[in-house]
Chain A
Amino acid sequence: MTEPIISIRDLRKSYGDLDVLTGIDLDIDRGEVVCVIGPSGSGKSTLLRCINLLEEPGGGTIALSGTTVFGDGKPQNLDELRREVGMVFQQFNLFPHMSATENVSIAQVKVRGRSRKEADEKSRELLDRVGLGDKVDEYPDRLSGGQQQRVAIARALAMDPEVMLFDEVTSALDPELVKGVLDVMRGLAESGMTMISVTHEMGFAREVSDRTIFMDGGVIVEQGKPDDVLGNPSHERTKQFLGLVLAN
C-alpha cells in the first residue's frame, strides 16, 4: 500500500455559527479520480477550497505526499502546496488582460522560474492539447465559456501539478459547451492525473471516477464505486438527493 497523495483528518470549517465541514477524513491515492457530489450547501466546494487552502480550515490536518500543509491550526508549506495542486474554478477566472498564452505562461515564469520562451512553448503545447491550438493569441473576452474553461485547465496543468482540483467547472457553461470540457477532463483522467472533481455531472462521475463521494451537512455520507453510490445508494439522504437530481 503506497502512501496516499492527499491525507485529510478531522477537517473542520465554520463561518461564524455556521458549521460547513464537521470532521472530514479522506485519503486520496496517487492517480485516483474522485468525484464529489451533494446538494448545494453540503460543504463540497468548501472541502475543495480547503484542500488548496483558499479557505483556511478551522481545525484538523491536511497532508500532501506525507508533508503536512495544514496542522496546528495554521497553514504550513503553503507555497509547496499551491505549486503541486492545480485548481480550476466554476467561473474560469482567466486573467482578462492577458492572451490565452500569457494566461498559461505567467505563473510558469513568475513562480516556476521558467524562461518566457520555454513557458510559451509549453503553453502552446497545452493549449493545443485542450483543443485550442488556433486560439493561442486570443483574449478571454473573445473566447466562449467552454474555451475559457479549457484555457483555465491548461493554465493549471502548466505548473505540472500532482493533483488537480475541479470546482463545478461545467456549472457555468451552456449545455452544448460542457462536452468539450468534460472530454479534456476525461483525457486527463486517462493519463493518470490525480483528480478531485466537485460536480453535478452524474454521467461523468459514473463513467470516469474511481470513487464517488456523497456529501451532505458537512460530512461524507457515503463513498465507494460510482456504480454503487449512484446506482445503489445505501443511505436515505443519498437516495433522496439522487432521486431529485435524476428526476429532471
Chain B
Amino acid sequence: MEAFFQTYFDFQIIEDNFGYVLEGFWYTIRLSIVGGILSLIWGLILAVLRQLPGRGLAPVRWVAIAYIDALRGVPLLLVIFLISGGLGALASEGVIPEGLGIPRWFGLPDPFWYGTIAITLTYGAYMAEVYRAGIEAVPRGQVEAARSLGMSHGQAMRFVIVPQAVRKVVPPLLNDFIALMKDTSLVSVLGLVETVQAGRDVYSETFNASALTLGAFLFLAVTIPLARFVDWLIKKQDMKIQRGIP
C-alpha cells in the first residue's frame, strides 16, 4: 500500500515538478481552445456544404460527405503524422512557402500548429455530423416559411435554420470538445511537451508516476465540470421539451 502510494502520489515529486507539468497543461489548454474553435467553424462549414440544395451542387455534397467519412475513419494519430510529415516535406521541396510548411505562428512551435491542423481536420468531421443532426432536427416548415418569405437557401440557413440547429447541438458539441481535449495528448508524438509528455519526462527521470497523476487531475479539473455543465444543459432542454416548447 505504501509503495502504491509512493508511486502515484509522491507529493515531493509533484511539488518539485508542478511548474513543469503546468507548463505542459498550458499547451494542452491552448491546443484545445484553438483546435476546438477551428473545429467548430470547420465543422459548420462542412455541414452547410453537405446540405447545399439542387442537382448542380451535388458534387460539392459528395466531396463533403467523402471528406467527413474519410476523416472520421482514420486515427487522429495518423492524421497528425500525415500533416507534420507532409507539410514539412512539401516546404523543404519548395512546393509551399516555409511559413506554411513549418508554421511558427504567434510564436508557438511547429508541432503545436501541426497538431492544431490535424485536430481541426479530424474533429471538424465529427462536429459536422453533430451539426447535421441539429440541422435535420429543425422542422421542415421552418425552411418553407423562410423560403415563402423570399429568402434564398443561404439566407434561410443563416438566419433561421443554423441558429436553431446550433442551440440544439450545444451539449453533443461540448462532449466532442471533451474528447478533443483528451486527444490533444497525441500531439506529444511530435515532441510537444504538453501535459502527458511532461509527466512522462518526469517519470523517466524519477521512475515515479506521480507527475502523470498530477496531469490526470489537471485534465479532470476541466473535464468533470464540463461534463456536469453538459448534463445541466440537457436537463434544461428536456424540461423545455416537456413543457411543449419548441
Q: Which residues in A have some Cβ–Cβ distance to B below 8 Å?
A: 52, 54, 79, 82-83, 85-87, 89, 91, 93-97, 106-107, 110-112, 140-141, 152, 155-156, 159
Q: Which residues in B have some Cβ–Cβ distance to A below 8 Å?
A: 139, 141-142, 144-152, 155, 159-160, 163-164, 167, 245-246
Docked Cα-Cα span, A159 to B141, in Å, equals 19
Q: Is the CB of A82 within 8 A of B160?
A: no
Complex A-B, nearest 7 residue pairs according to Cβ-Cβ distance, in ascending order: A107-B149, A93-B145, A93-B141, A87-B148, A82-B150, A111-B150, A141-B245
Q: Is the CB of B142 within 8 A of A95?
A: yes
Min distance, Cβ B121 to any Cβ of chain A, angstroms? 31
Min distance, Cβ A177 to any Cβ of chain B, angstroms? 16
Q: Is the CB of A82 within 8 A of B147?
A: yes
**Residues in A whose Cβ lies below 8 Å from that of B151:** 107, 110-111
Q: Is the CB of A54 within 8 A of B155?
A: no
Q: Is the CB of B149 within 8 A of A159?
A: yes
Min distance, Cβ A55 to any Cβ of chain B, angstroms? 10
Sample (23) of A-B pairs whose CB atoms are under 8 Å apart: A54-B144, A79-B150, A79-B152, A82-B148, A86-B148, A86-B149, A87-B145, A87-B148, A89-B145, A91-B139, A95-B146, A97-B163, A97-B167, A106-B159, A107-B146, A107-B149, A107-B151, A110-B151, A110-B159, A111-B151, A112-B150, A155-B145, A155-B149
Q: Which residue of B lies closest to A152 (CB)?
A: B145
**Residues in A whose Cβ lies below 8 Å from that of B245:** 96, 141
Min distance, Cβ A214 to any Cβ of chain B, angstroms? 25
Q: Which residue of A lies closest to B246 (CB)?
A: A96
Q: Which residue of B lies closest to A108 (CB)?
A: B149
